[in-house]
Structure 1
């Protein structure tokens, strides 16, 4: 699959996938963000943001 490394950021969709939902190519909508990742200040102590 072309998007093997793509990250899913929709928590509701992730829940559906965990429950066994399997989308087909005929009813799947894909949204792609083309912006640069958010980078907080150098003193950031949390997890790496996306």
Structure 2
């Protein structure tokens, strides 16, 4: 399984949006909220594994 960084996902997203003619770019506040949510989910999952 290959894991992608948040930056890699953002680049892929912008490339896809560019191809279909949508809006590109990211709202830094939304990225920070997403990062925080994913960190909390991962933390909860890891605690469940222990």
State if a TM-score over 0.5 links the two structures.
no
**Shorter-chain TM-score: what band?**
under 0.3
- Looking at CA atoms only, which structure, 1 or 2, has the larger radius of gyration? 1
TM-score for the superposition, normalised by structure 1? 0.26
Higher relative contact order, chain-length normalized (CA < 8 Å, sep 6+): 2
Structure number with the higher helix fraction is 2
